[in-house]
């Protein structure tokens, strides 16, 4: 029952974040909201597994956490460099790798 | 359970489909159109998956018969129901539509990629991704001779 | 109708709430003029539908939707709007009347048609009672693996999956044809070293890429036990490589995995898949009939302990056949996704350069 | 090259934790996967110390424990402001200098700052960090010093 | 004349797997072509793959003639669990059509690609072309409704990009390809939705099984919605008037290799699938099926035949003329099918094959010449006959056939349609056919007049005769137009058995 | 032995094929000799095939085709006489156009003649229709061969209407044959006086379609424009090549299919009359000849409609005679066209000084067409007039034909030679026509005279030989007929001269009144002239109306269908998609709420 | 024992969800982007940790627990990086905050102008 309540709460939180994503006002707000939404999704996915008695689907949650990250980096590069190909800035010292 | 609730999924799917198509129709922007198309395609998936859901079913990944997990799952349901619709004491949802929709999602992303690639080339060739402007430019093109090999 | 299971209330509640959210988000996509906002909302759409899919007992599909919808699609869309630049123009409202009316009318008809559909969760509906149930019953003895979805996907309906892999390959060919042949000079290293403001993402990426890659392999090889499979693994693998490209630059990634190699790998994957089918055929079975993957003499020599217990009769052909074709799928999907990213990512610079010239 | 065994071990552990299968076939597949992963990562040229902090794992775990406490404290502080009136927040941007030398140390420090609600690392440039803080009074350059010290020592593997 | 019953084209070991090899051979060739080191090698692979597929199609034709229907179970699981290929007389006809068009187009591609597409793209273009062929053959062969969707998409996805690379010659190829993609995807998605409804009603995806179960069902709104979605979705793919908006652009701006292949096959396979659904899967005689055929399909086909012919008459660009003509001819084919008699279906299918042959001839002849000329509009083709007499003559033969000049295949096709319409008592169909044929004469006349009777303006670029590599397949095709016009027993045999397969054994 | 068998074999081939085959060398040959051989040899071969061995009323080569029995070659006396005419025309046309090195026109002309010949000798409806279609295409090519703008446009119009005719014919033939279960001419109808004529029931649907198609080809009133439109726009030799076949073939078809169908009488009579007005007023002499063709075909149609043995004999004889003398006239005009580049009456005159032979040939042609006794026209036309006279209740028809005869005299018999060669001197002194033209004209003129002077052998060839002989003996040179004809001639010449002197041509005042006949002959032209003004106005009104309607339709359809037109432009992606949605809705509605 | 742990776990879950809700409220309420980041990080840290901890307790000592730990680790690893990247993007492209001082202290000599060669 507690888990169900938890799921309901998460849904409510997601709804609020969606409102932020829709009203913006800036794109950064939207991305922030999506990011936060992603974390909540990960939590909800974990929770739903327990709720339905099949907790084995945590893989999806893991994948979400990872993919969300990639997307956010891509968005950052979108704003920062207007390019997906550009490397994130390198300092001179880093060219020498210790490997 | 009321009729509305049991068919809510289909209504939602219908609305989503139309929303996708509406995005497609209403916008002259090629990228936006692709987004609309993607929504439209995804809604198909929702439709299939809704068909596949079974009361009290669980994902179609077999639970070891007789394991605690299986017992736990069965305990949530009416034994008669499990006996009638279950397989080895567990009720599963229908796996077939899932398989189909996996394929459909893949097709969707393939379409999206190719469509966007074409849209990018349109932008490079015409300097615009607005359908109206492209139309105008195309009509100019029609009056010019082709390139010679 | 049989007595409702108590947990179904929760399912239904989740179902409806998530669908309403989907509707809201779809409305937001339709409404917004900003393409970026539309893309962001579209990724939210994918997230919600993935959760919904889990609620609907479709973890495999959710997996795919998660990696594709929130990951690849969004990145491709971003690449596209980088290359096209622009906001959607607000269309004249009078031009929206006809589409709106058509949509509403057909939507109404659709709803009307849906009245005839069996209600949600009806175990006795034709869809669920006939072939769907037959798969659940037949899989243990035909294939011998827990994940029925994988069994159906890669054995019963393996021809579909071959087609699906081919579609992906075709998409790779298409994108390569469209975007993949620009001059590569633009990928030369940036002339001036620019400030280092990105230690954090770089370190995180270095840490994560091996884990993501390994996770992809895990998803690949456990597709018959749990949710996942070649397609999901392929996209995750591609995500790892895309992450590398995003953080360390496309040039670095292309040096490690040249575009031509990526394209070749994509076609090799399909070849592997089709080749397995042909091998089955040459061994006397039908196309993709994995039971004939090994000649009987070979199959008898496969030691039972490979799967931990020697007393069970294993469907070795099915096991290895599925594993191999999933490998083909992995190859094709990851290589194609990388090709597609190369196409969009590699183009970015060129478009920007062209614009700078003008 | 001390980090390579660490990386292999970590990957193997990760695989096994995910899989949990003991059948020889799956173990073989696991080994194969780890090898393939290593090969891929080597091709991508990202195997270096940053990619494999696993030999620092004990230090980092200890640091993690300390950080958790900080996070809880910070959480409470921010929740107060969420629930309270809006004017209670007083954002500020502060410059923080880190003593960490390696990239890993810098990243760990920057992430720790971001993880504690109320402060977000906006930019890392050399050893200077720009931090956006929700509350002015508790966020001075000095207030980050303990975290910096601990993070640097945990990641760089030296005593402070 | 070939008696298919006695045709043992391939050794038994291959024949047993022929239905499948027909589909998979181009697929494997596609992968190999993508891997090929040079354009030349990929071209050879392409030809080999296409020829092999055509060979297998012939082998299947023999089997079908002997056994009526060929079923091939894939993966060792019989339907409805597994997927099976199911080829009957109709399927064989379309498969032969597609595979032989593939052979012709691949032969042709050796020359055309070098001038139309950047050198670095050749291997991928060949690969995409073979994928397209795979998709179409798979679509024809499969007996599974969803599998058909997958192959529909296999053929489409590659095609979109292939159409778009026509941009090198004409940038309008890009928006055309985009529109094609959007419409094609909408069509395919409609189809999937329709299949979803049908699946909800029957619980199976195998077409034969579906038909058997549909026959026992009352027609509920679910079945009807499924029918509507399937038919309209395929109607878009088949460029049924007025859903043809995507076609003219896609056909006219694509590289000639692609227009040749598409014009001959793409819409045909969709029509094939549509026919299978309308007549085979759904219990024909179900009132909604008949209502569709009588009140939607036939009127739309008739309108399309006339309107699009008119558009062709007023069009200035020669390839667009042919494209509009294609839509009009789709109307002819559908009119034949909509008669819903064996004679009508046979005539419609005969027309389908005839039109494929005609259009491939025309597009190939045009491709050979237009390549060197870079011409688009009618006027620019002035005097081409003088410079490239062989191509021009082949074009004239194809055009005559299109117009339905006696002693050509096109005439027989029109003749059979009229005959069937008369037998079915549908005089209005005859009237429509007459009007549309007249319009056909007009636009064919315009084209021929430009090519043959107008002198090239001074200083205009001079056309070069196409090389032998193009002329050889071209003249084979042109010769077939005449040959079948004199002795049509072979296509007739195919069309008749196809029509019987579609509408039951009644003669 | 073997030669015999080869000959037998060759004789089973439809003679039309020889001409069509000959078109091939004609199309490629560059040297004059080969061309000559092809142009003359083809028709001659055809002629030989036609005559050897004389098979009559038999289907020579039967084939199974599409499940129907077809006959590629069937010959009887009706086909033979028409075929003879065609072969003559082909030979003469070949000789006539020898100077002109136009391979397209030569080849097309041969194909045209061959196809027409083939149609005449076709043994079934299908073969017939096929040959007719081929003839249509070839004839269009002949028009196009002029390679001028007006010719191109005229050719397109010509092609359009001919194809409509062809389609009607095709559809009708298909309908009729399917209905009757056979396409064979021999099986469609029985013998009538030893000949298969009037075999198609014009009241059936198929029959109506066929009649409509043939009617267009015969240039029935209101659908005659193609003729007067196309002929004058051809090359100087094109009209000669063009004129013999299509309309004559139509007459043959009418005779074969619809002999004795009463409405044809009235149609024919109308056809004889109305072109007179136009011809009289027309300035372009070749156009005058085109109108006159129309008028002459009217005689034949009328005769076919009467449907007695005499009248059918008359129609056939007149058809052949018409081929010869109209060809001759066109040749003469062609020579002028060649030398001066125009045939406008207003720009000609006084040409007899330098073109005496042409003038002479033209006079012979004019005499023939005017049915001057002892010229070809008289031999044939008298038969028709007699047939019309003798029928019950045919008085009005006879009067109409009489009036038309006067008209013919007026415009073809007098106006053409007078305006071209005599009249006031235009000052032009063109060279005499080339030798090949003169030869062709000479041969034609000779033929006219031979037929006129020795009609016996000609009558031997007619479909109903015995009746023809009877007519020859009893009627042809009877005083009343000769007198009647001479009266007519005198009247016309007088009228023409009077009017000419008063500078009032077309004349306003009648000439001499002699008797009742003369009253009629005077009154009718008066009436005609009185009517001609409103008729002209009406005609103009109608033509303006039709042309503006056609123009309007064309404009409107261009706006709708052209590349940037309504349909194409307004059918972009989203519209198509919405349409898809709408059709989806419609289909669903139909299936759910039908 | 099991059920007690479940209840405790459930409690943690609810508490974590409550934190997430609070974070969401903050994301809605806070006045500008930079302050909202702080609110969002509540969900990322406190909320996620508590929920996952609760689930761990429910799961007991199984493989699932390990996976939950992995989820947690990944969340902890990725969210701060994402937040940092986002803030960095906003900051470097000159997105202005609505309240508070926003000292753009540029001590870096290599970046004299706010829009360097790497800026759009």
Query: Does G105 sit within 8 Å of D82, measured CB to CB?
Result: no
- pLDDT category of residue G100 using cuts at 50, 70 and 90: low
Query: Does B40 sit within 8 Å of E186, measured CB to CB?
Result: yes
Inform me whether the pLDDT recorded for E314 exceeds 50: yes
Q: What are phi and psi of F228, to 5 degrees?
A: -70, -15
Contacts with G110 from chain C: Cβ below 8 Å: 194-195
Query: What Rg do the C-alpha atoms of chain D give, in angstroms?
Result: 20
Work out the average pLDDT over A55-71. Answer: 85
Residue F236, helix vs strand vs coil: coil
F 529-568: CB under 8 A from E: 557-558, 560-563, 565, 567-568
Say if residues E404 and E440 touch (Cβ distance below 8 Å).
yes
For chain B, helix (H) and strand (E) counts, in that order, are 7, 0
Distances (CA, A) of B91 to C12, C121, C138, E201, E324: 17, 11, 15, 21, 55
pLDDT at F74: 83
DSSP code, position F471: H
Inform me whether the pLDDT recorded for C270 exceeds 90: yes
pLDDT at A95: 39
CA distance F153 to F156: 5
Inform me whether the pLDDT recorded for F514 exceeds 50: no
Q: What percent of chain E has pLDDT over 90?
A: 23
Domain ranges of chain A: 2-88
State the average pLDDT for chain C: 83
Sign of the CA dihedral with E413 first, then E414, E415, and E421 last = positive
Work out the average pLDDT over A73-95. Answer: 69
pLDDT at F527: 60
Inform me whether the pLDDT recorded for C67 exceeds 50: yes
Q: Which of G78, G80, G88 shows the shortest C-beta gap to C197?
A: G88
State the average pLDDT for chain D: 81
Inform me whether the pLDDT recorded for F55 exceeds 80: no
DSSP code, position E83: E
Inform me whether the pLDDT recorded for B137 exceeds 50: yes
DSSP code, position B92: B
Domain ranges of chain G: 2-112
pLDDT at G118: 40
- pLDDT category of residue F58 using cuts at 50, 70 and 90: low
CA distance E137 to E134: 5
- Size of chain E in residues: 507
The reply to whether D49 falls in a domain is no
More confident residue, E94 or F391: E94
Tokens representing F66?
């599409």
The reply to whether D25 falls in a domain is yes
- pLDDT category of residue F563 using cuts at 50, 70 and 90: low
Nearest CA in chain B to A53: B73
Inform me whether the pLDDT recorded for A21 exceeds 60: yes
Say if residues E180 and E189 touch (Cβ distance below 8 Å).
no
Inform me whether the pLDDT recorded for G113 exceeds 50: no
- pLDDT category of residue E1 using cuts at 50, 70 and 90: very low
- Tens digits of residue pLDDT in C29-43: 888 888 888 999 999
- Tens digits of residue pLDDT in C92-116: 777 778 888 888 888 888 888 888 8
More confident residue, F442 or F181: F442
| Residue G78 contacts C where some CB pair is shorter than 8 Å | yes
**Does the model's pTM come out above 0.90?**
no
Nearest CA in chain D to A99: D48
Which of C82-91, E18-27, F171-180 has maximum average pLDDT? E18-27
Distance from CA of B73 to the nearest CA of A (A): 6
Query: Does A56 sit within 8 Å of B58, measured CB to CB?
Result: no
Inform me whether the pLDDT recorded for D33 exceeds 80: yes
Contact: chain C with chain E (3+ CB pairs below 8 Å): yes
Q: Is the peptide bond before D29 cis (omega within 30 degrees of 0)?
A: no
For chain A, helix (H) and strand (E) counts, in that order, are 3, 0
pLDDT at C353: 55
- pLDDT category of residue F562 using cuts at 50, 70 and 90: low
Distances (CA, A) of C40 to A31, A60, C70, C286, D86: 7, 20, 9, 46, 28
pLDDT at E214: 86
pLDDT at F571: 54
State the CB neighbour count (10 A cutoff) for residue D143.
14
Domain ranges of chain B: 1-53+95-149, 56-92
Nearest CA in chain D to A94: D103
CA distance F196 to F189: 6
Tokens representing F87?
């072969």
Say if residues A54 and C54 touch (Cβ distance below 8 Å).
no
Nearest CA in chain A to G67: A58
Work out the average pLDDT over D22-50. Answer: 85
Instruction: Provide the number of structural domains found in chain D.
Output: 2
Q: Which fold has domain B1-53+95-149?
A: Helix Hairpins (1.10.287)
Inform me whether the pLDDT recorded for C193 exceeds 50: no
More confident residue, E398 or F394: E398
pLDDT at D154: 81
The β-bridge relationship of strands D119-125 and D128-133 is: antiparallel
CA distance C148 to C144: 9
Query: Does E438 sit within 8 Å of F163, measured CB to CB?
Result: yes
| Residue C221 contacts D where some CB pair is shorter than 8 Å | yes
Q: Which of C225-229, E353-357, G12-16 has the lowest mean pLDDT?
A: C225-229
Which among E105, A34, E191 is positioned nearest to G79, based on CA atoms? A34
SS (H, E, C) E159-172: HHHHHHHHHHCCCC
- Ordered DSSP codes for B111-136: HHHHHHHHHHHHHHHHS--BHHHHHH
Work out the average pLDDT over C47-71. Answer: 89
Q: What percent of chain E has pLDDT over 70?
A: 96
DSSP code, position F204: S
Q: What are phi and psi of F97, to 5 degrees?
A: -100, 15
CA distance F222 to F209: 17
CA distance F324 to F305: 23
Distance from CA of E150 to the nearest CA of B (A): 8
- pLDDT category of residue F145 using cuts at 50, 70 and 90: confident
Domain ranges of chain C: 8-87, 136-358
Which among F520, E431, A65 is positioned nearest to G80, based on CA atoms? A65
| Residue E212 contacts C where some CB pair is shorter than 8 Å | no
Contacts with F589 from chain C: Cβ below 8 Å: 109
More confident residue, F220 or F68: F220
Cα atoms in the 13 Å half-sphere on the side-chain side of E56: 29
How does A60-89 read in b/e, with b if 16+ C-beta sit within 10 Å? bbbbbbbbbbbbbbbbbbbbbbbbbbbbbb
State the average pLDDT for chain F: 78
The predicted complex's ipTM stands at 0.76
Which among C14, C23, C30, C18 is positioned nearest to B12, based on CA atoms? C23
Which among C58, C66, C134 is positioned nearest to B54, based on CA atoms? C58
CA distance E23 to E30: 11
- Tens digits of residue pLDDT in F421-471: 877 777 778 888 888 888 888 888 888 888 888 888 888 888 888 888 888
Q: Is E12 exposed, middle or buried (0-12, 13-18, 19+ CB in 10 A)?
A: exposed
E 152-211: CB under 8 A from F: 178-179, 182-183, 186-187, 190
- pLDDT category of residue A15 using cuts at 50, 70 and 90: very high
Q: Which residues contact F466 (CB under 8 A, 6 or more apart)?
A: none
- pLDDT category of residue E368 using cuts at 50, 70 and 90: confident
Inform me whether the pLDDT recorded for F533 exceeds 70: no
- Tens digits of residue pLDDT in F343-376: 887 778 778 888 888 888 888 888 888 888 888 8
Tokens representing F365?
């042609």
More confident residue, E119 or F251: F251
Inform me whether the pLDDT recorded for C268 exceeds 90: yes
CA distance G114 to C304: 67
């Amino acid at each position: 029952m507690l888990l169900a309540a938890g799921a309901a709460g998460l849904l409510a939180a997601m709804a609020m974040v969606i409102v932020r994503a829709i009203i913006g006002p800036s794109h950064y707000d939207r991305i922030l909201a999506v990011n936060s939404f992603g974390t909540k999704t990960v939590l909800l996915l974990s929770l739903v597994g327990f709720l339905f008695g099949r907790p084995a689907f945590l893989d999806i949650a893991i994948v979400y956490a990872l993919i969300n990250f990639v997307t956010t980096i891509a968005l950052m590069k979108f704003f920062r460099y207007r390019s997906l190909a550009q490397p994130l800035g390198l300092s001179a010292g880093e060219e020498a790798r210790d490997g | 359970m009321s009729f509305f609730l049991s068919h809510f999924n289909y209504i939602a799917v219908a609305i989503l489909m139309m929303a996708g198509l509406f995005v497609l129709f209403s916008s002259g922007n090629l990228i936006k159109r692709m987004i609309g198309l993607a929504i439209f395609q995804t809604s198909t998936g929702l439709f299939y998956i809704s068909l596949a859901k079974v009361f009290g079913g669980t994902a179609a990944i077999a639970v070891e018969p007789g394991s605690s997990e299986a017992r736990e799952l069965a305990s949530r349901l009416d034994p008669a129901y499990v006996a009638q619709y279950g397989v080895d004491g567990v009720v599963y949802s229908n796996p077939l539509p899932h398989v189909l929709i996996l394929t459909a999602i893949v097709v969707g992303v393939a379409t999206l990629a190719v469509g966007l690639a074409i849209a990018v080339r349109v932008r490079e060739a015409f300097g615009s991704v607005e359908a109206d402007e492209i139309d105008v430019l195309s009509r100019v093109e029609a009056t010019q001779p082709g390139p010679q090999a | 109708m049989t007595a409702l299971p108590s947990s179904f209330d929760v399912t239904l509640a989740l179902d409806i709430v998530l669908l309403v959210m989907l509707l809201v988000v779809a409305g937001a996509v339709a409404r917004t003029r900003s393409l970026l906002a539309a893309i962001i909302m579209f990724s939210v759409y994918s997230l919600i539908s993935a959760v919904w899919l889990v609620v609907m007992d479709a973890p495999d599909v959710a997996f795919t939707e998660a990696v594709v919808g929130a990951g690849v699609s969004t990145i491709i869309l971003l690449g596209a709007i980088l290359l096209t630049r622009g906001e959607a123009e607000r269309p004249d409202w009078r031009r929206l009347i006809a589409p709106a009316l058509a949509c509403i009318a057909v939507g109404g008809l659709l709803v009307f048609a849906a009245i005839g559909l069996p209600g949600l969760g009806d175990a006795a509906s034709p869809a669920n009672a006939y072939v769907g149930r037959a798969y659940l019953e037949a899989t243990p003895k035909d294939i011998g693996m827990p994940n029925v979805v994988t069994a159906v996907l890669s054995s019963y309906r393996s021809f579909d999956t071959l087609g699906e892999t081919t579609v992906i390959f075709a998409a790779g060919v298409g994108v390569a044809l469209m975007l993949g042949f620009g001059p590569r000079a633009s990928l030369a290293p940036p002339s001036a070293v620019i400030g280092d403001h990105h230690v954090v993402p770089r370190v995180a990426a270095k840490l994560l890429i091996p884990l993501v890659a390994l996770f992809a392999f895990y998803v690949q090889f456990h597709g018959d036990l749990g949710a996942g499979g070649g397609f999901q693994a392929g996209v995750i693998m591609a995500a790892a490589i895309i992450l590398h490209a995003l953080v360390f630059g496309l040039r670095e990634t292309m040096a490690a995995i040249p575009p031509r190699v990526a394209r070749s790998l994509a076609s090799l994957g399909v070849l592997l898949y089709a080749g397995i089918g042909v091998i089955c055929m040459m061994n006397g079975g039908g196309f993709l009939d994995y039971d004939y993957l090994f000649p009987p003499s070979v199959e008898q020599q496969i030691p039972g302990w490979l799967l931990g217990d020697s007393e069970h009769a294993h469907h070795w052909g099915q096991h290895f056949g599925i594993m191999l074709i999933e490998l083909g799928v992995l190859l094709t999907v990851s290589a194609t996704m990388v090709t597609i990213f190369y196409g969009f990512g590699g183009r970015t610079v060129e478009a920007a350069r062209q614009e700078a010239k003008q | 090259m001390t980090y390579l065994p660490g990386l292999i071990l970590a990957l193997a552990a990760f695989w096994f934790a995910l899989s949990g299968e003991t059948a020889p076939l799956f173990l073989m597949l696991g080994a194969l996967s780890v090898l393939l992963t290593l090969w891929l990562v080597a091709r991508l040229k990202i195997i270096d110390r940053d990619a494999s902090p696993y030999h620092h794992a004990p230090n980092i775990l200890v640091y993690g424990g300390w950080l958790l406490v900080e996070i809880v404290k910070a959480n409470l502080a921010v929740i107060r402001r969420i629930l309270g009136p809006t004017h209670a927040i007083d954002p500020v941007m502060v410059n923080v200098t880190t003593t960490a030398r390696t990239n890993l140390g810098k990243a760990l420090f920057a992430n720790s700052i971001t993880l504690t609600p109320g402060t977000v690392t906006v930019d890392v440039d050399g050893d200077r960090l720009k931090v956006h803080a929700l509350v002015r009074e508790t966020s001075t350059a000095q207030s980050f010093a303990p975290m910096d010290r601990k993070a640097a020592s945990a990641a760089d593997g030296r005593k402070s | 004349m070939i008696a298919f019953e006695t045709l043992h084209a391939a050794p038994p070991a291959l024949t047993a797997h022929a239905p499948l090899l027909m589909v998979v051979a181009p697929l494997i060739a596609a992968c190999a072509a993508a891997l090929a080191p040079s354009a030349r090698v990929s071209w050879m692979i392409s030809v080999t793959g296409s020829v092999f597929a055509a060979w297998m199609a012939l082998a299947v034709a023999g089997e079908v003639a002997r056994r009526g229907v060929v079923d091939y179970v894939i993966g060792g699981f019989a339907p409805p669990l597994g997927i099976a290929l199911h080829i009957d007389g109709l399927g064989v006809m379309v498969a032969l059509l597609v595979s032989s068009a593939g052979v012709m187009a691949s032969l042709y591609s050796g020359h055309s690609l070098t001038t139309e597409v950047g050198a670095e793209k050749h291997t991928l273009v060949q690969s995409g072309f073979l994928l397209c062929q795979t998709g179409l053959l798979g679509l024809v062969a499969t007996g599974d409704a969803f599998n058909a969707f997958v192959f529909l998409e296999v053929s489409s996805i590659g095609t979109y990009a292939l159409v778009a690379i026509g941009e090198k010659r004409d940038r309008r190829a890009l928006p055309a390809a985009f529109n094609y993609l959007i419409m094609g995807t909408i069509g395919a998605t409609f189809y999937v939705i329709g299949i979803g409804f049908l699946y909800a009603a029957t619980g199976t995806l195998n077409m034969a099984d579906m038909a058997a179960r549909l026959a026992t069902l009352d027609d509920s709104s679910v079945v009807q919605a499924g029918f509507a979605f399937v038919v309209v979705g395929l109607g878009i793919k088949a460029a049924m008037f007025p859903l043809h908006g995507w076609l003219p652009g896609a056909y006219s701006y694509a590289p000639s290799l692609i227009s040749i292949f598409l014009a001959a096959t793409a819409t045909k396979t969709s029509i094939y699938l549509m026919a299978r659904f309308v007549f085979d899967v759904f219990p024909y005689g179900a009132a909604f099926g008949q209502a569709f055929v009588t009140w939607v399909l036939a009127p739309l086909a008739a309108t399309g035949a006339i309107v699009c012919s008119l558009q062709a008459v007023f069009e200035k660009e020669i390839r667009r003329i042919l494209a509009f003509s294609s839509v009009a001819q789709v109307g002819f084919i559908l009119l034949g099918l909509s008669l819903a008699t064996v004679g009508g279906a046979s005539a419609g299918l005969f027309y389908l094959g005839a039109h494929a042959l005609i259009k491939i001839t025309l597009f190939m002849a045009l491709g050979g010449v237009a390549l060197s000329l870079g011409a688009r509009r009618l006027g620019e083709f002035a005097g081409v006959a003088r410079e490239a007499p062989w191509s021009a003559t082949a074009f004239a033969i194809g055009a005559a056939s299109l117009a339905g000049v006696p002693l050509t295949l096109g005439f027989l096709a029109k003749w059979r349609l009229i005959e069937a319409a008369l037998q079915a008592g549908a005089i209005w169909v005859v009237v429509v056919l007459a009007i549309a044929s007249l319009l056909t004469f007009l636009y064919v006349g315009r084209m021929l007049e430009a090519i043959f009777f107008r002198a090239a303006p001074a200083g205009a670029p001079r056309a070069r005769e196409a090389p032998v590599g193009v002329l050889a397949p071209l003249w084979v095709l042109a010769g077939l137009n005449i040959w079948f016009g004199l002795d049509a027993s072979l296509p007739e045999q195919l069309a008749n058995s196809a029509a019987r397969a579609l509408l039951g054994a009644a003669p | 032995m073997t030669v015999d068998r080869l000959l037998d074999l060759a004789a089973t081939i439809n003679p039309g094929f020889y001409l069509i085959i000959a078109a091939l060398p004609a199309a490629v040959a560059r040297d004059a000799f080969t061309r000559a051989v092809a142009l003359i040899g083809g028709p001659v071969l055809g002629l030989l095939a036609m005559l050897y061995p004389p098979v009559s009323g038999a289907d020579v080569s039967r084939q199974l085709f599409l499940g129907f029995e077809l006959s590629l070659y069937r010959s009887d006396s009706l086909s033979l006489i028409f075929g003879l005419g065609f072969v003559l025309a082909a030979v003469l046309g070949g000789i006539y156009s020898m100077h002109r090195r136009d391979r397209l026109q030569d080849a097309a002309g041969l194909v045209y003649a061959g196809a027409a010949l083939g149609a005449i000798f076709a043994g079934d409806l299908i073969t017939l229709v096929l040959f007719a279609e081929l003839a249509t295409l070839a004839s269009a090519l002949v028009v196009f061969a002029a390679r001028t703008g007006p010719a191109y446009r005229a050719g397109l119009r010509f092609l359009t209407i001919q194809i409509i005719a062809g389609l009607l014919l095709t559809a009708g033939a298909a309908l009729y044959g399917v209905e009757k279960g056979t396409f064979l001419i021999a099986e469609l109808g029985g013998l009538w006086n030893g000949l298969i004529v009037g075999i198609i029931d014009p009241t059936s649907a198929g029959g109506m379609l066929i009649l409509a198609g043939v009617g267009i080809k015969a240039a029935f009133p209101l659908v005659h424009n193609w003729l007067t439109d196309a002929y004058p726009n051809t090359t100087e030799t094109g009209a000669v090549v063009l004129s013999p076949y299509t309309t004559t073939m139509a007459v043959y078809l009418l005779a074969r299919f619809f002999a004795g169908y009463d409405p044809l009488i009235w149609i024919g009579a109308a056809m004889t009359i109305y072109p007179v007005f136009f011809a009289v007023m027309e300035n372009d002499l070749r156009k005058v000849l085109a109108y006159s063709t129309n008028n002459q075909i009217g005689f034949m149609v009328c005769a076919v409609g009467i449907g007695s043995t005499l009248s059918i004999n008359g129609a056939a004889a007149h058809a052949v005679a018409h081929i010869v003398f109209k060809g001759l006239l066109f040749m003469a005009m062609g020579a002028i066209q060649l030398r001066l580049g125009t045939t406008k009456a207003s720009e000609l005159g006084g040409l007899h000084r330098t073109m005496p032979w042409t003038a002479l040939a033209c006079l012979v042609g004019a005499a023939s067409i005017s049915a001057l006794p002892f010229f070809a026209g008289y031999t044939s036309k008298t038969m028709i007039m007699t047939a019309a006279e003798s029928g019950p209740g045919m008085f009005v028809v006879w009067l109409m034909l009489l009036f038309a005869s006067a008209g013919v005299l007026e415009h073809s018999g007098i106006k053409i030679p007078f305006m071209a060669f005599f009249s006031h001197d235009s000052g032009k002194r063109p060279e005499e026509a080339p030798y090949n033209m003169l030869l062709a004209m000479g041969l034609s003129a000779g033929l006219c005279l031979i037929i006129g002077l020795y009609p016996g052998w000609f009558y031997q060839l007619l479909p109903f030989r015995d009746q023809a002989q009877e007519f020859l003996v009893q009627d042809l040179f009877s005083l009343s007929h000769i007198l009647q004809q001479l009266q007519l001639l005198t009247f016309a010449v007088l009228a023409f001269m009077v009017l000419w002197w008063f500078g009032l041509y077309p004349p306003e005042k009648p000439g001499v009144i002699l008797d009742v006949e003369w009253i009629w002959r005077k009154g009718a032209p008066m009436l005609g002239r009185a009517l001609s003004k409103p008729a002209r106005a009406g005609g103009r009104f109608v033509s303006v109306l039709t042309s503006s309607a056609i123009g309007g339709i064309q404009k409107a359809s261009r706006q709708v269908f052209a590349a940037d037109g309504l349909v194409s432009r307004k059918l972009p992606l989203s519209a198509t998609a919405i349409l898809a949605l709408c059709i989806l809705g419609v289909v669903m509605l139909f299936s759910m709420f039908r | 024992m099991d059920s007690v742990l479940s209840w405790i776990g459930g409690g943690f879950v609810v508490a974590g969800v409550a934190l997430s809700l609070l974070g969401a409220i903050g994301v809605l309420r806070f006045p500008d982007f930079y302050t909202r980041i702080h609110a969002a990080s509540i969900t990322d840290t406190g909320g996620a940790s508590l929920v996952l901890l609760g689930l761990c307790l429910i799961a007991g000592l199984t493989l699932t627990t390990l996976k939950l730990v992995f989820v947690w680790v990944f969340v902890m690893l990725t969210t701060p990086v994402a937040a940092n990247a986002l803030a960095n993007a906003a900051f470097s492209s000159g997105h202005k905050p609505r309240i508070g001082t926003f000292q753009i202290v540029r001590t870096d000599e290599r970046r004299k102008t706010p829009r360097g060669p790497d800026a759009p």
